[in-house]
Structure 1
């Protein structure tokens, strides 16, 4: 005899789906939905941000650093299918987007650089020289 439980096989997936439908808030598993996908990391000299946004041009991005917050925004154009084509799966995001990253207190906003190559936006926010660790020789 096959027993079918009250709950779906993957209860957490179902709860996550319901939560997204309800208010678009971040996933209960901790991954926040958003475009573009991003990697954020630090080095002793900088904060490195990589935003993965293929099919755009550098002019379509607006990158700002203000009050310790990095904002990446822009608009991704819609891809128009050929006339008479039927779309069966549409996963290409189009429209306006905005991603915000809180930066550490030791950044130097005037030394921020941004470049876009091969579908990846790279933003480098330098850290202040005084905040970097130094080796002190003992006499």
Structure 2
């Protein structure tokens, strides 16, 4: 039986190569589907009177957004359009994501969906959602029958 010297760094390199192969397979996009579309990041702030949502939508025209609100959720649909550029020489490479997106955000409280306000500034969409009069504030006495 031959003795083999153990090299921990060789094993770490092998683990890193395997992780790289795994991420390459995970991120490979099939040509027929757009599995990895643009999904805007959301920040939610909940205070006693309102819920404030901020969505990161850089480079979008506010006219390309469709915002719909119900008492329990908000849906934002839009499209980031590809700007066509042609070059005679060289190669153009882009890492931007284009296409349609939809984000449905369930809300922690019911809102007055007919009083929602939206503002778009510097690539940030801010939605102010006033809370509905809460039914949970009402206390009802429950009698136990024995």
Q: Could you tell me the TM-score, scaled by structure 1's length?
A: 0.69
Q: How does 1:1-139 map to 2 (within 5 A)?
A: 2=7, 3-5=9-11, 6-8=14-16, 11=19, 18-19=25-26, 21=28, 34-66=38-70, 68-84=72-88, 85-88=90-93, 90-130=94-134
Which structure's residues are more often helix, by fraction?
2
SS at match of 1:8: helix
CA distance 1:100–1:15, change in 2 (3 Å): farther
- How far has the Cα of 1:121 moved from its partner? 0.9
Larger Cα Rg: Structure 1 or Structure 2? 2
In structure 2, the gaps of 5 or more residues are: 30-34, 138-146
Q: Could you tell me the TM-score, scaled by structure 2's length?
A: 0.66
CA distance 1:14–1:49, change in 2 (3 Å): farther
CA distance 1:83–1:18, change in 2 (3 Å): closer
Distance 2:117 2:25 in 1: 40
Distance 1:36 1:75 in 2: 11
Distance 1:71 1:15 in 2: 34
RMSD: 3.2
